[in-house]
Chains A and B, each alone.
Chain A
């Protein structure tokens, strides 16, 4: 099985063969090929055969063939066993077709699958489990398997059903509420806790930022394709101070997706706008204006 074919002098014209390595050689020797070279097999059973030949264009080509030599497990053959080796076939084995292929070597490499990486001990795994188990005495069951959802029975890594779970699921890290509370309470070491979740952090800043977008937000749907943000601003401006106007655009086509959001400073203004503009004919369509429902989370 040729793995590596390398041509030491590709596209080399016959006229300019002044390579430093060949300066001292007689030109005639160029037509002789170096002898075949066999390296190995080494302790891993890797054998290298280096051959040289001329290809169709007359260039010298070095062919390195790397093969792995494998010793088949040998049955310990004693004299009687060797005798049995030459026994006549009998029964159904006599009339066996050559093509019946009763005995096949597996095309698949089967390995002895280790339950955990060699060198680690099961005891080491238990240590974090114990400390968490002590925490769980406080109340809620902490031991929740993310694979099968069982509580208090086993950890995710020990789940007997983990083979069944789709491989993707094991990577999706759904934070379990109770787990989050543990990390928030600051057990000291271990899992990373975002700054906003740390003890003493200002809780309000982050949540307020999100709220500004959500509060007094009015959703406008059934907009015509030509409507742009300035048009919406013009439309809603008379009802009060507007902080944000947004029209959803399709990223691929660059056209309006037919809905948008308008945020007001005052809730009363927003309510008036809804009352007035819901069902209002704008461009060639009838608008639908309502409170934007805040996101579930």
Chain B
């Protein structure tokens, strides 16, 4: 395949997200401008100007009209996807790390980093249908986990919130009361910071990537460990194919060590694993730095990766990808 290279960002990529129809791709980077691209040919549709810091994460509503972005400038912004105009700004006392719309787009879960004397927290905000009625109040604030919470997503039927972060433990919280419902087993769990967490297309299981050079597949309800995928470099980003039983891991050595070693030592590939057999299927090379973000098109026929090198690479699979046999 010949990937499409998108050089819209001047700084490392942090997050990639497709809309539900798979025709738009949203990219966040450490430069302050989230960008939206057409997912078929990589043409830039627009940018969302207004943030004053690195943008760590974004999510798009099911109807592809609203975009929510979380930034290190201690704000979370709501945007009109079509025009790029700001609809609302939530202010926090610390950088916002992760954002996720609930099913139905009426709620959003936002995680904030520990900063000054503030500890990390998970905020639940109600998203008004009309931006004019939007309020700042949090429905719920959950505190407790030590260190950064790198990702928090909604569980089945919005009843729970699943969080993971620097303390390497996956937790399930009640989204109504904020009570801790379940913790992943420490023995079988990750040994280092969990950098990424993604749900399967049907939400029945979730995949986490960690700096301990592995990715793990968990049951969403019981948090039992299902599979482990071992690789030889820290995992920064994970994605699951909605079409085939494939898991993609992206990573590479720490960005600070890249210039001091041979480029071949970095292993900046997106590694494909068989979800069930846990066997490596192959690698897709191309980035000049670690892969920070991965996303699968909802149709499963293309995926994109964002790297520390500032490039988004959009890969449309060759036909023979779909009948790879182990």
Contacts and interface: CB of A to CB of B under 8 A. Distances in A.
Contact of A105 (B4, B285, B301, B318): B4
B64 interface: yes
Interface residues of B, number: 59
Interface stretch (B34-42, B97-105, B134-142, B173-181): B34-42
A163 B267 contact: yes
Contacts of A103: 4-7, 37, 41-44
A163 B316 CA distance: 27
B127 interface: no
Given A74-B40, A109-B1, A163-B264, A102 B7 contact: yes
A102 B281 CA distance: 31
Contacts of B264: 163-164
B114 interface: no
Given A73-B317, A74-B40, A92 B5 contact: no
Q: Which of A75, A105, A118 lies at the interface centre, i.e. has the most chain B CB atoms within 10 A of its CB?
A: A75
Nearest to A116: B280
B40 A75 contact: yes
Contacts of B22: 75-76, 81
Given A76-B21, A84-B24, A110 B286 contact: yes
B78 to A, nearest CB: 16
A231 B158 CA distance: 102
12 contacts: A72-B40, A73-B317, A75-B38, A80-B21, A80-B63, A84-B24, A92-B33, A92-B47, A92-B49, A102-B8, A112-B1, A161-B265
Interface of B: 1-8, 21-24, 33, 35, 37-49, 63-64, 82-84, 232, 262, 264-265, 267, 269, 272, 279-286, 297, 299, 301-302, 313, 315-318, 321, 324-325
Given A76-B299, A103-B5, 10 more contacts: A72-B316, A75-B23, A84-B24, A91-B47, A92-B49, A102-B7, A105-B3, A110-B1, A112-B283, A112-B324
Interface of A: 72-78, 80-81, 84-85, 87-94, 96, 101-115, 118-119, 122, 160-161, 163-164
